[in-house]
Amino acid sequence: MSKMCGIMGYVGNGNGIHATLVGLKRLEYRGYDSVGVGYKKGGDLVIKKCVGRVEDICRRLIPSEDHSTIVISHTRWGTHGKITDENAHPHADCQGKIAIVHNGIIENFQDIKEFLSKRGHQFKSETDSEVISHLIEEYLKTENSFEEACKKAFSMLKGSFAILALASGEDKIVGIRKDSPLVVGIKENESFIASDIYALLPFTKEFIFLQNYDFITVGKGVVKIENLKEGKVERPVEVIDINLEYDGKEKYHHFMIKEIMEQSEVIDRILEKNNGKIEVFSKEISSAKKVFLVGAGSSYHACLYGSYLLTKAGIDSKPIVASEFKHFEKLIDKDSLVIAVSQSGETADVIEAIRIAKKRGAKIFSIVNVYGSTVMRESNDYILMNVGFEVGVAATKTFTSQLIIFLLIYKSIMGEGFDGRELQSKILDLLGRSRREFMEKVVDYLKEKDHVFLIGRGLSFISAEEAALKIKEVSYIHAEAFPGGELKHGTLALIENGTPCIVFVDRENKDEILSNAHEVKTRGGFIIGISPERDEVFDIWIKIPEANEELTIMQVIPIQILAYLLALKKGYNPDYPRNLAKSVTVK
Ligand code: G6P
């Protein structure tokens, strides 16, 4: 069983249960199928865990008066095996005196389990993680201290892990990271540890970003770090001051719609911080012998967009889905520039691609949203999207900001000016209330449908790909995108009376794509046209402003809104779609 989860710990004078639950809520984007908290109460270790969200554990299991100064906690996203109370974290040892939370995968857990079973350990869950608490228990028999037992246990593990452990007799939390993130937050008399700074921002502005094999012992306001490979190490304390003013949902019912609406501000936010960097990237891209773009999900679609623009600028570039990157390894060498695109900066497939490329001698540039993330840290240079946290699982404002960054790079390479105000007013137009009201019509048509096809050519095909992903992610309607000319090579067989087809029309490909729309309509298809101009083939027309290279932004925003409204109509929570997580930290 592998997981990709959020973890948080607290040691201090205050109520750590309350603090970790606040942090966990902010980590739910990493997974939210089950949740758990482990804490010391008197001399005992208490573990509360259940299937569900943070509010479920609060309501069902944790009495509001419960108080503890040493706490570990976890929010989980299971990829294999069942989502059950037993499989939720924390996991205890046989005697219930040690508890651990884990993010990552223990690849050799079967061997460890066998070793431990022979020594009489009994397991309660099906998880790989549970071996960790039992391994610590086992080594406590021979080692002098809890820290030494943890060290020995951690050094046996293969795979990726961020782990926190506590024991009933200890007044500290012990932890380690390898290929899964862990950040320490510092305050007088209090220490916090979490998967990312987002969880910790309500508590502190001072952070230590841990590196692979950093082993930490955390007490009240005291943090000891030792690297299991390098010995004693000093890690800098970084001050990160992020405005939390726009942090909540504000007047919106969901983060997704709040983040969609924030797209009118992304241009200012990008320009505010990154002007110089755009020039650096442009120069480097123009002079590189080979350019590769790598990303996953929506960020991969942004790579397609970037590559399209670079091709237009006469620069050869190859977009590669991060999880497939290793198959292209031979193409990468010291003359290569790899541009990694990632909102979270923690997507495991992207990190792996970066590491492969680095080994081959390539230079790594990245476009990331989360400051301090692994992708940012492992890159030679980076551009920050600077658009604030994105909580909704479906990428919206960060996708648009990735596109704008590529657009700025393209304009800089071409020596063309960029009219930010004009683009902003077009985006504002697309976000207007009347547009959203109009979209209800489309929602009514699509809500009962099982399938929707999307077609476009050139840049519009990239829009179709991203739009299909938005619809699938939050409304669970099967949505599939094709280049307009490709439909007739097979998929046309699926068109029946009333099958919806969203057609993205642009100036350059107008005649051909409209003719593809006719091919669908002739077979009974229902055509939803996204276009600056009306056409008789459209059954519903979604009007968008005229656009050049910013076309994809114009075409995708209406579908973000459509996907959001569809999710609501079907009774789903668009912020937390089933089976998904925002940051996929497993391969
Ligand atoms: C997950 C999310 C997607 C996202 C992708 C890449 O699958 O659900 O919305 O596009 O990861 O994430 P990244 O953080 O690397 O952009």
Q: What's the 38 CA to ligand 1 centre distance in angstroms?
A: 29
Q: Which of 582, 585, 587 to mutate to test the pocket of ligand 1 (most atoms within 8 A of CB)?
A: 582
CA atoms within 13 A on the CB side of 314: 4
The pLDDT value given to residue 398: 96
* CA 573 – CA 28 distance, rounded (Å): 14
E strand residue ranges, 139-205: 159-167, 173-178, 183-187, 190-194
Same topology, domains 248-418 and 431-579? Answer is yes
Category of 244 on φ-ψ map: left (φ > 0), alpha (ψ -120 to 50) or beta = alpha
> Which residue out of 40, 151, 397, 582 is catalytically annotated?
582
Backbone angles phi, psi at 420, to 5 degrees: -65, -35
The residue whose C-alpha atom lies closest to atom 8 belonging to ligand 1 is 582
* CB-ligand 1 contact for 474 (6 Å cutoff): no
The pLDDT value given to residue 585: 67
The pLDDT value given to residue 247: 63
Digit-coded pLDDT (tens) for 76-124: 887 555 889 999 999 999 999 999 999 998 999 999 999 999 999 999 9
Nearest-atom number in ligand 1 for the CA of 350 is 15
The pLDDT value given to residue 586: 64
The residue whose C-alpha atom lies closest to atom 7 belonging to ligand 1 is 297
CATH of the domain spanning 431-579: 3.40.50.10490
* CB-ligand 1 contact for 395 (6 Å cutoff): yes
Category of 316 on φ-ψ map: left (φ > 0), alpha (ψ -120 to 50) or beta = beta
**Residue 118 is a catalytic residue:** no
Category of 297 on φ-ψ map: left (φ > 0), alpha (ψ -120 to 50) or beta = left
Amino acid at 129: S
Order of strands across the sheet that contains 451-456: 478-483, 451-456, 500-504, 526-531, 540-543
The residue whose C-alpha atom lies closest to atom 15 belonging to ligand 1 is 342
Amino acid at 73: S
At 60 the three-state DSSP class reads helix
Q: Which of 259, 347, 369, 578 to mutate to test the pocket of ligand 1 (most atoms within 8 A of CB)?
A: 347
**Distance from first CA to last CA of the chain, Å, rounded?**
13
Q: What's the 582 CA to ligand 1 centre distance in angstroms?
A: 6
E strand residue ranges, 13-94: 34-41, 44-51, 70-76, 91-92
Show Cβ contacts of residue 436 under 8 Å, excluding neighbours closer than 6 positions.
561, 565
The pLDDT value given to residue 207: 94
Residues of the chain with pLDDT under 70: 1-4, 79-81, 242-248, 275, 583, 585-587
**Residue 150 is a catalytic residue:** no
Domain ranges for the chain? 6-239, 248-418, 431-579
* CA 79 – CA 579 distance, rounded (Å): 8
SS3 content of the chain, % helix, strand, coil (to 5): 40, 25, 35
> Which residue out of 3, 5, 49, 303 is catalytically annotated?
5
For 6-239, which CATH class?
alpha beta
The pLDDT value given to residue 244: 61
| Structural contact between residues 334 and 361, judged by C-beta atoms closer than 8 angstroms | yes
* CB-ligand 1 contact for 401 (6 Å cutoff): no
The DSSP letter of residue 177 is E
Architecture of domain 248-418: 3-Layer(aba) Sandwich (3.40)
Show Cβ contacts of residue 392 under 8 Å, excluding neighbours closer than 6 positions.
254, 255, 256, 258, 259, 574, 575, 582
